[in-house]
Chain A
């Protein structure tokens, strides 16, 4: 640990911490553009200048006035005993001295030389470092009278636009494409004050390569200004009008930590949230842009019942009554209950409790999205399993005594011999193979719980409208054993209900003793009854998640 004097604070930081991070840990802001904790440090924006006294002069030496240095590359370390400053400090750094303040002001003035005053029409306004730092550290007016450079607006790829005029050339996006995605589509063209970010193009401007890797959306997040903009979010909303909730991406089994930004009428965007062991600062575009189904107009809003070979809307009381009637008619061994790898641990826990305690069946199955492709990048992996909770659902469905969780061919064979199947899907993009479809069609009475019309709802006898990850609380267990929380953001559409509530309603109708009021309560039951999940209560999981041991 290095003992450092930071302004008038005396702090202890780990050896190797840079000044920007050390200051951040103690609530002091060192403004910066090019520095990003997930990328290399070129120190080219000069915004994080600080006044360090970090060299260890021999005793009695006359120390000249130090030059300012960039905070991002000034690393704090323990000094040998004879070189302590003032006899005790390993380093002395000022981030608010008059020299530093003046330097910041001047650097900002340079950065703003070619920057347009288009905040009123800029997507980044409200979450823009240039705006914030200008307000906090900048001049109140511009002294630049000359003509500004006006480089063109550019289309970089399927989801990314570049407003070159707003760019401060921090090169975060270039370093991201080189270091994290390893695809290297981005670079600087021209020279000096004419520098522009671009993809490789011919002299006429036709691209040789576009920014279309699956991590491309991250460059929009790391852009400190409004230069790189997501086409998906362009002109959709002002950032300050959106509510934010910490959640977990449901796109694959990595379980990237995300922030869901939403308004009453739907989800507006997903942004990655830092998690050291899972996704670092990043998320993939499949996950980022995969939320649209939540807002879809096609969402199931009412229970559907097959009447004269057609699914027609009905009301909940009728749907529940029809199901309970069918379920009480058949023997336990003729019933198969299938849980979803898209559902939360809580959904699946209530479902297995319903199967085990009420229906007295131990025949359970696991259903989910069809596997996709695995994509490996130098610092990121997108997994092939497109379900957020395969690991959790598998464990929890199989947690009660004697429960068997069938998957793959064994499941479909079981289904083809069953009379009643209760299938919780939530994986509405899942395509069915002929054998799977035939198995489901052979079932006398198929109950499907889903969020959108899908291939499984087509063959169902009754369809119950469930909820997506954005509409419920709960936990997901990712492929590496991290249990993490998702949080309710918007209300479910129409009369759609939270999945475990539907299951509990069915259980109650059949005389089951189940009375959960909220997901946290179920998590307590999971902690008590599922091996390995003893610490997985919502309180203990918190924002950081816990890793199963």
Chain B
């Protein structure tokens, strides 16, 4: 094997608050492995993105192989394996939003933030130089009645126009 194994220099562990949250979570599922998604969300919230150290820690906590965690992390686009901006802006581009001109919203955001759109394997492409924003396109956000919508971190913004986008960004 030409590749060396990765050395984890700073191990990851839940802080006290997240540890309490995790203990509560685990109780909800019949097997530990079933708590994979909420545990990963919790870890990502603490670490910013899923590093090898996080994967290893989560695998240990859930008593599964590291590969199982990697498997889930690469399957879902909401888990990041590289650093992202402080605000992650998800622009819905599924049909109803597209019909209500989400492209205009997206183009406006691109111009305003002066960044490209991130791809799943290259988040840096959609992250602003100051590391404040990451812009990405996503599939349906389940709010077609108020299209077009975007989601910034955990908040949903509805019925957007370029003017409203400006307002939203200014209020962040």
Which residues of A approach B to under 8 Å, CB–CB?
Answer: 155, 157-158, 178, 183-191, 198-203, 205-210, 212
Task: Indicate whether B29 reaches chain A with its CB closer than 8 angstroms.
Answer: no
Please tell me if the beta carbons of B71 and A208 are within 8 angstroms of each other in the complex.
Answer: no
Kindly identify which residue among A155, A158, A189, A206 contacts B71, using a CB–CB cutoff of 8 Å: A189
- Tell which of B3, B81, B82 has the most Cβ of chain A within 10 Å: B3
Kindly identify which residue among B1, B68, B74, B82 contacts A190, using a CB–CB cutoff of 8 Å: B74
Ordered by A's residue number, 11 sampled pairs between the chains whose C-beta atoms are within 8 Å are A155-B2, A186-B67, A187-B65, A187-B67, A189-B71, A191-B74, A200-B69, A202-B52, A206-B5, A206-B52, A208-B55
Q: With a CB–CB cut-off of 8 A, which chain B residues contact A203?
A: 81-82
Task: Indicate whether B70 reaches chain A with its CB closer than 8 angstroms.
Answer: yes
Given the interface pairs A191-B75, A200-B55, the reply to whether A184 lies near B65 with Cβ below 8 Å is yes
- Chain B 1-13 per-residue mask, 1 if CB under 8 angstroms from chain A, else 0: 1111110000000
- Tell which of A187, A199, A200, A212 has the most Cβ of chain B within 10 Å: A200
Please tell me if the beta carbons of B1 and A184 are within 8 angstroms of each other in the complex.
Answer: no
- Tell which of A183, A186, A199, A203 has the most Cβ of chain B within 10 Å: A203
Please tell me if the beta carbons of B1 and A208 are within 8 angstroms of each other in the complex.
Answer: no
Q: How far is the CA of A437 from the CA of B70 in the complex (A)?
A: 53
* Residue ID in chain A nearest B49 by CB atoms: A203
Kindly identify which residue among A155, A157, A178, A209 contacts B66, using a CB–CB cutoff of 8 Å: A209
Q: Which 9 A-B pairs have CB atoms at the shortest separation, nearest pair first? A: A184-B65, A187-B67, A203-B81, A187-B71, A189-B74, A200-B66, A206-B6, A200-B70, A202-B52
Please tell me if the beta carbons of A187 and B1 are within 8 angstroms of each other in the complex.
Answer: no
Kindly identify which residue among A183, A187, A190, A208 contacts B52, using a CB–CB cutoff of 8 Å: A208
Q: With a CB–CB cut-off of 8 A, which chain A residues contact B2?
A: 155
Apart from A203-B81, A206-B5, A210-B5, 9 more pairs, CB < 8 Å = A198-B67, A200-B66, A202-B51, A202-B52, A205-B3, A208-B5, A208-B52, A209-B5, A210-B1
Please tell me if the beta carbons of A201 and B75 are within 8 angstroms of each other in the complex.
Answer: no
Q: With a CB–CB cut-off of 8 A, which chain A residues contact B5?
A: 206-210
Which residues of B approach A to under 8 Å, CB–CB?
Answer: 1-6, 51-52, 55-56, 64-71, 74-75, 81-82
Q: How far is the CA of A518 from the CA of B51 in the complex (A)?
A: 64
What is the minimal beta-carbon distance from B137 to any residue of chain A, in angstroms?
16
- How many Cβ-Cβ contacts under 8 Å join chain A to chain B? 69
- Tell which of A187, A189, A198, A205 has the most Cβ of chain B within 10 Å: A187
Q: With a CB–CB cut-off of 8 A, which chain A residues contact B65?
A: 178, 183-185, 187, 200, 209
Please tell me if the beta carbons of B75 and A208 are within 8 angstroms of each other in the complex.
Answer: no
* Residue ID in chain B nearest A174 by CB atoms: B67
Q: How far is the CA of A320 from the CA of B71 in the complex (A)?
A: 65
Given the interface pairs A191-B75, A203-B81, A203-B82, the reply to whether A155 lies near B3 with Cβ below 8 Å is yes
* Residue ID in chain A nearest B81 by CB atoms: A203
Given the interface pairs A200-B55, A203-B82, A208-B52, the reply to whether A187 lies near B68 with Cβ below 8 Å is yes
Q: With a CB–CB cut-off of 8 A, which chain B residues contact A187?
A: 65, 67-68, 70-71
Q: How far is the CA of A252 from the CA of B62 in the complex (A)?
A: 36
Q: With a CB–CB cut-off of 8 A, which chain B residues contact A186?
A: 67
* Residue ID in chain B nearest A205 by CB atoms: B3
* Residue ID in chain A nearest B75 by CB atoms: A191
Q: How far is the CA of A202 from the CA of B9 in the complex (A)?
A: 13
* Residue ID in chain A nearest B72 by CB atoms: A187
* Residue ID in chain A nearest B3 by CB atoms: A207
Kindly identify which residue among B3, B64, B71 contacts A188, using a CB–CB cutoff of 8 Å: B71
What is the minimal beta-carbon distance from B123 to any residue of chain A, in angstroms?
9
Given the interface pairs A158-B1, A185-B67, A187-B68, the reply to whether A207 lies near B6 with Cβ below 8 Å is yes
Q: How far is the CA of A199 from the CA of B52 in the complex (A)?
A: 13
Please tell me if the beta carbons of B6 and A208 are within 8 angstroms of each other in the complex.
Answer: yes
Q: How far is the CA of A207 from the CA of B56 in the complex (A)?
A: 12
Q: How far is the CA of A200 from the CA of B55 in the complex (A)?
A: 9
Q: With a CB–CB cut-off of 8 A, which chain A residues contact B64?
A: 184
* Residue ID in chain B nearest A159 by CB atoms: B1
Q: How far is the CA of A120 from the CA of B6 in the complex (A)?
A: 36
Given the interface pairs A191-B75, A200-B55, the reply to whether A184 lies near B68 with Cβ below 8 Å is yes
